[in-house]
Structure 1
């Protein structure tokens, strides 16, 4: 079947756009310097503050359409290939079959699996399957790569597989769900030539990618009509970094809630969350899009994580969130209140006592003091490896 992928709506910048970019640059530098010098993010180190204030200042200074074009001009595949070439990482691609279902008749372009081979001496070394973030709208960014590769090494993985999925608004929900399910199916299928046992697969993702990890797991327990069915199996682990887990507006409007309290601390704002949601068009009545806000969510997650009413689908789960995130309340509910017998670890820069608690349970929620949305990717942009969330993820993976 021929691909019906639509052209991206963001046209190339015009001359006036570039003029405005140049004209606004001095203002950007001034704002960034002031924001950095007078930042009140006390728990963060200087490099973390630098990256956070850079993003906040960038998004409040330059026109959104121009920033969107700059972000989307380089595809996920190009970023991965360039990084692997620069760092001498063996890389190959696998094109997934084109997906279509009776209930969803849009013919999607095929997803692409990027396979990065790592050196591992362990016979039963796992495979890390990673879904990148970006609000379902933006491709994987260059700072993602050192973080993802570090995750692979921490887990002693033999390979990292990154899914290059189709982006909204050209391909809205449930396009990404369909392609993620197809990627998992392909990895486990003997006919694909891979035949990786589920016990050797670690599912991981950040932000929207963390959402997609949840989408796959909920689909296995409660199959979506949009995607092909998956066998009921147990994965080695799942990592959800700053996941977007609830679409309900009530959590955004709650007085004293994290959307209001942290909007001036996080670089991600409610307006941006709304824009991503409008482009993605996730259905708030369906658990595959609204992980903890859809009807019956508690029953589904009790089954996924505890095996209540059926087999457990994942052996161990890590959820991380920064205390400066707009998603803090929703992640607390999803990672704590929604799941009984889960453990919450309060992680701080000031000491390392919390690291030993990461092995206390099968389901761990780590609240990282003062850190912002997907802080490890921000840290990776400046080569900082001592961030709380970064250490939490790496230490936990190393314990598997």
Structure 2
């Protein structure tokens, strides 16, 4: 149940008369020409064309979506509490709608059972954790091929891995198919994946920590034990909060949390992909702002408070928890740990100008021992060859924003630095 305290913490407020005039104006423009994203946020967009703006050389499509996001942030806190209250379509409803409107998608969904006895005493809510839903997407659509009625096996044309994807959104927003599904599909095409599995998890403030940890652990357990998928066939991927969720899963495998039974995979995972991971919790307000990023530290801190995390837990505070270094040494099998790595390959991406860059770098470089590679839209293929060849990579986009590849997919721009790095890494999984 959403409390007044939750509303205060998340920063939601009633829309003022001025806000409503802005809404009417924006919607009028939007309905006039849905394809003109530049008109949606004209005032904000104009700033991107000033020579002094750090992103003035971005593609116009990138500028348009960033301007739209910055404009929508006026109403973001109100929108998020509406999402969390269930007054809009859930992730599962969006996934069903997306699949129904596109040819060549083979879609099935599974509600993952949760042991109520294990989760009945959730320290945040005192209630049992709800079941997550897994959405299996496959078929010719996955490979970008025409639909073929002879494809009866439920898989795409690829014989590559299976991608398990957890979407971002601050743990309060449902999946955005135009960005998240499109991004996962492009990853699948790059590596010839035969299937993408999306995790529809519970959102805050209705479900608080450690609900999402329990859900991702039980989702993977289901895939390993009921779907009989070998760990070596799996690419675990996520962006922002979804990347945090995947990291929490790895931490649980190495050092089991008390909230859910241990999980012991029979082998290494093929790869883990963490896009702009949200790893800063304890001092989120200190993240500040950036001219290149649409996220702001104070609002991020509000989201942290709504999640009601236990920041002493390494499954929550990925980087700054007291035993984080020890746990990640076990996950990545660093020298002296005596452990075999849980994952064969790792890609972490972040912009050098996004507010969450600091802890993403600590995780990738200090904990995982990744090689840092700076990437930009105009870089030669030689730079991206490094991404393909390294076992663990920290791809740093120059002057980009939070989860830039997802925004690029939403506007169908395929030349960004981290987008190209992601494609290079995924294509290397074919080898």
Which category describes the TM-score, using the shorter chain as reference length? 0.7 to 0.9
Structure 2 counterpart of 1:186, from 214, 219, 222:
222
Partners of 1:31 and 1:70 lie apart in 2 by 27
Structure 1 counterpart of 2:377, from 349, 368, 371:
349
Shift of the 225–379 alpha-carbon distance from structure 1 to 2, 3 Å rule, reads same
TM-score, normalisation: structure 1: 0.88
Residue equivalent to 1:359: 388
Structure 2 counterpart of 1:130, from 147, 165, 188:
165
How many residue pairs match? The answer is 382
Residue equivalent to 1:52: 66
Aligned-residue offset at 1:52: 1.1
Residue equivalent to 1:319: 348
**Structure 2 residue 111 is matched with structure 1 residue 95:** yes
Contact 1:43 1:349 (C-alpha < 8 Å) held by counterparts = no
Partners of 2:278 and 2:76 lie apart in 1 by 25
Structure 2 counterpart of 1:160, from 196, 204, 213:
196
Shift of the 215–23 alpha-carbon distance from structure 1 to 2, 3 Å rule, reads same
SS at match of 1:97: coil
**Structure 2 residue 359 is matched with structure 1 residue 330:** yes
**Structure 2 residue 415 is matched with structure 1 residue 380:** no
Q: Could you list the per-position Cα deviations for residues 306-347 of structure 1 after superposition, in whole angstroms to 9, with x for gaps in the alignment?
A: 26332321111100001220011111111112333x211111
SS at match of 1:346: strand
Aligned-residue offset at 1:394: 1.5
**Structure 2 residue 252 is matched with structure 1 residue 214:** no
Structure 2 gaps, min length 5:
30-38, 141-155
Partners of 2:416 and 2:15 lie apart in 1 by 39
Contact 1:322 1:372 (C-alpha < 8 Å) held by counterparts = yes
Q: What is the 5 A alignment of 1:124-273?
A: 125-142=160-177, 143-189=179-225, 192=226, 194-232=227-265, 233-249=267-283, 253=286, 259-260=287-288, 262-273=289-300
Aligned-residue offset at 1:7: 7.0
Aligned-residue offset at 1:84: 1.7
**Structure 2 residue 97 is matched with structure 1 residue 85:** no
Structure 2 counterpart of 1:309, from 338, 350, 353:
338
Alpha carbon RMSD of aligned pairs, Å? 2.7
TM-score, normalisation: structure 2: 0.82
Shift of the 344–85 alpha-carbon distance from structure 1 to 2, 3 Å rule, reads same
Contact 1:118 1:157 (C-alpha < 8 Å) held by counterparts = no
Partners of 1:265 and 1:375 lie apart in 2 by 11
SS at match of 1:62: helix
Higher-RCO chain (CA-CA 8 Å, sequence separation at least 6): 1
Residue equivalent to 1:3: none
Structure 1 counterpart of 2:302, from 262, 275, 283:
275
Aligned-residue offset at 1:96: 0.6
Partners of 1:361 and 1:374 lie apart in 2 by 21
Contact 2:237 2:272 (C-alpha < 8 Å) held by counterparts = yes
Structure 1 gaps, min length 5:
1-5, 254-258
Partners of 1:130 and 1:80 lie apart in 2 by 13
Aligned-residue offset at 1:24: 6.0
Shift of the 199–52 alpha-carbon distance from structure 1 to 2, 3 Å rule, reads same
Partners of 2:83 and 2:213 lie apart in 1 by 26
Q: Could you list the per-position Cα deviations for residues 343-369 of structure 1 after superposition, in whole angstroms to 9, with x for gaps in the alignment?
A: 111112222231010133221100011
Partners of 1:252 and 1:273 lie apart in 2 by 7
Residue equivalent to 1:75: 90
Shift of the 229–66 alpha-carbon distance from structure 1 to 2, 3 Å rule, reads closer
Contact 1:204 1:238 (C-alpha < 8 Å) held by counterparts = yes
Shift of the 37–93 alpha-carbon distance from structure 1 to 2, 3 Å rule, reads same
